[in-house]
C-alpha cells in the first residue's frame, strides 16, 4: 500500500508522460510559450485560470512543465518578436489569443498553436473549419456575431434616449474591424447613429475622446489587446467626459468601465489548457475541433454608474452575473 505523498508523486510523474515528441527527444521538460496580447496585469485572471487547469490535469509548473511568459502590450511588432523568440526556443506549444494570433501563425507552421480566444478563426484564415482545423492551430472561437446587438440593447436599457454612439476600435486588429461592422449593423436596426474613431496607438485615445464629446451619448469599445492594456486610461477619460461605456471582457468593468457582456474569458483559458494538455500528450492540433464559449457574463459597475449620474434599471441588475459596488 502506498501513502498519500507517494501517490501524488506517482500522479505527477504520470502527468509528464507521454510528452510531446520534441520534449522526448531532447530530454527536457515540455515548454509552453505563453504569448499574452496585452499586459500581465490585464491577463492575470486568464493566465491564472490556465495554470490552475493545467495543475488539475497533472502539470506542475517548473516540475513537469515550463511556461515562458511574454507580453506584447497591445503592440503587433512586439508580438512578432515574441513569436520568433518562441520558435528559437523550440517551445512545444504556443498559447495565445486572436489579437496576436497572426504573429504566431506567421512565425511557425510546425509548432502547435492554441488560441484561447479568437473572434472568427475560419473567416480570418487561421483554421480550415471549426470541426477539422487542419494545420498546426486550434483553440476556442468566440463566433459572436450577435453579441454586438445584445450589448447595444443593454446599453439602451441604461440610456433609453441614445441616438449617437461612439465606437472606439483598433483598426490594426482585423477582429476589431469585423466588430465595427457588427456594431453598425445592430445600430441601424435600433436607429442609432454611429461615429467610429479608428486608432492604432495608445497616444490616439485622448484624441478619440475629444471627438466623442461632440454629441456622443455613449461609447462601445471593440475588444482588442491594445484597448485592454489601456483600460484604466479609457475609463478615466470616459468618466471625465460623462460617457457610459460598454465592453466585451469584464476586466474593463473591473477597471472602472460601466458595463460588459461577453464570453467568460477565464473559462475559455481553462478550456484552452485542456487542448494544450492533449497536444503535450501527443494529439495533433489539426485534429482537435475548435470549441465555442458556453458561459457568458453581464457585469455592471454601480460605482461608475453613480459617478455618471445614471440609474441602472432594477431589471438589468437582476440579470447581471456580477454587480461591482
Length of the chain: 325
Contact of 247 with 222, CB cutoff 8 Å:
no
pLDDT above 70 for 286: yes
Contact of 256 with 301, CB cutoff 8 Å:
yes
- What distances in angstroms separate CA 187 from CA 183, 191, 287, one per listed residue? 6, 6, 39
Distance CA 238, CA 232 (A): 10
Tens of pLDDT, residue by residue over 219-257, are 999 988 899 999 999 999 999 999 999 999 999 999 999
The side-by-side arrangement of strands in the sheet containing 66-71 is 66-71, 31-36, 93-96, 113-118, 137-141
Can you say whether the dihedral through the CA atoms of 186, 129, 172, 300 is positive or negative? Answer: positive
Can you say whether the dihedral through the CA atoms of 108, 113, 118, 124 is positive or negative? Answer: positive
Question: Three cell numbers at 205?
Answer: 485615445
Per-residue pLDDT, averaged over 250-274, amounts to: 96
Distance CA 123, CA 238 (A): 33
- What distances in angstroms separate CA 174 from CA 177, 179, 227, one per listed residue? 5, 9, 14
Separation of CA 283 from chain center: 24
Highest CATH level, class, for 147-263+297-324:
alpha beta
Tens of pLDDT, residue by residue over 131-188, are 999 999 999 998 665 799 999 999 999 999 999 999 999 998 888 888 999 999 999 9
Q: Which fold has domain 4-142+265-295?
A: Rossmann fold (3.40.50)
What confidence score (pLDDT) does residue 98 get? Answer: 87
Question: Three cell numbers at 273?
Answer: 489548457
- φ, ψ of residue 323 to 5 degrees: the values are -120, 120
pLDDT above 70 for 11: no
Segments making up each domain of the chain, as ranges: 4-142+265-295, 147-263+297-324
Distance CA 203, CA 23 (A): 43
What confidence score (pLDDT) does residue 74 get? Answer: 87
What DSSP element (H or E) covers 100? helix 98-107
- Strand stretches in 101-177, DSSP E: 113-118, 137-141, 164-170
What confidence score (pLDDT) does residue 144 get? Answer: 61
Percent residues over pLDDT 70 in the chain: 91
Distance CA 219, CA 225 (A): 18
Per-residue pLDDT, averaged over 198-203, amounts to: 91
Amino acid at each position: 500500500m502506498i501513502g498519500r505523498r507517494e501517490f501524488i508523486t506517482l500522479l505527477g510523474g504520470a502527468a509528464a508522460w507521454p510528452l510531446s515528441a520534441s520534449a522526448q527527444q531532447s530530454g527536457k521538460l515540455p515548454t509552453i510559450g505563453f504569448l499574452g496580447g496585452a499586459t500581465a496585469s490585464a491577463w492575470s485572471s486568464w493566465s491564472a485560470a490556465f495554470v490552475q487547469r493545467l495543475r488539475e490535469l497533472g502539470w506542475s509548473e517548473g516540475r513537469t512543465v515550463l511556461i515562458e511568459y511574454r507580453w506584447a502590450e497591445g503592440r503587433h511588432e512586439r508580438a512578432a518578436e515574441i513569436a520568433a523568440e518562441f520558435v528559437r526556443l523550440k517551445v512545444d506549444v504556443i498559447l495565445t489569443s486572436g489579437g496576436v494570433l497572426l504573429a504566431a501563425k506567421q512565425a511557425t507552421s510546425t509548432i502547435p498553436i492554441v488560441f484561447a480566444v479568437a473572434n472568427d478563426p475560419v473567416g480570418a484564415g487561421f483554421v480550415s473549419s471549426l470541426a477539422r482545423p487542419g494545420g498546426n492551430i486550434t483553440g476556442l472561437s468566440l463566433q459572436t456575431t450577435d453579441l454586438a446587438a445584445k450589448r447595444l440593447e443593454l446599453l439602451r436599457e441604461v440610456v433609453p434616449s441614445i441616438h449617437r454612439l461612439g465606437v472606439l476600435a483598433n483598426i490594426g486588429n482585423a477582429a476589431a474591424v469585423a466588430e465595427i461592422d457588427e456594431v453598425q449593423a445592430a445600430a441601424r436596426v435600433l436607429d442609432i447613429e454611429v461615429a467610429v474613431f479608428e486608432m492604432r496607438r495608445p497616444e490616439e485615445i485622448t484624441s478619440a475622446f475629444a471627438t466623442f464629446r461632440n454629441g456622443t451619448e455613449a461609447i462601445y469599445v471593440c475588444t482588442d489587446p491594445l484597448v485592454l492594456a489601456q483600460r484604466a486610461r479609457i475609463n478615466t477619460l470616459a468618466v471625465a467626459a460623462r460617457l457610459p461605456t460598454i465592453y466585451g471582457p469584464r476586466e474593463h468593468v473591473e477597471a472602472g468601465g460601466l458595463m460588459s457582456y461577453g464570453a467568460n474569458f477565464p473559462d475559455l483559458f481553462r478550456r484552452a489548457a485542456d487542448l494544450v494538455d492533449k497536444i503535450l500528450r501527443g494529439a495533433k492540433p489539426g485534429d482537435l475541433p475548435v470549441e465555442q464559449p458556453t458561459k457568458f457574463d453581464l457585469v455592471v459597475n454601480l460605482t461608475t454608474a453613480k459617478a455618471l449620474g445614471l440609474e441602472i434599471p432594477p431589471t438589468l441588475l437582476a440579470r447581471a452575473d456580477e454587480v461591482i459596488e
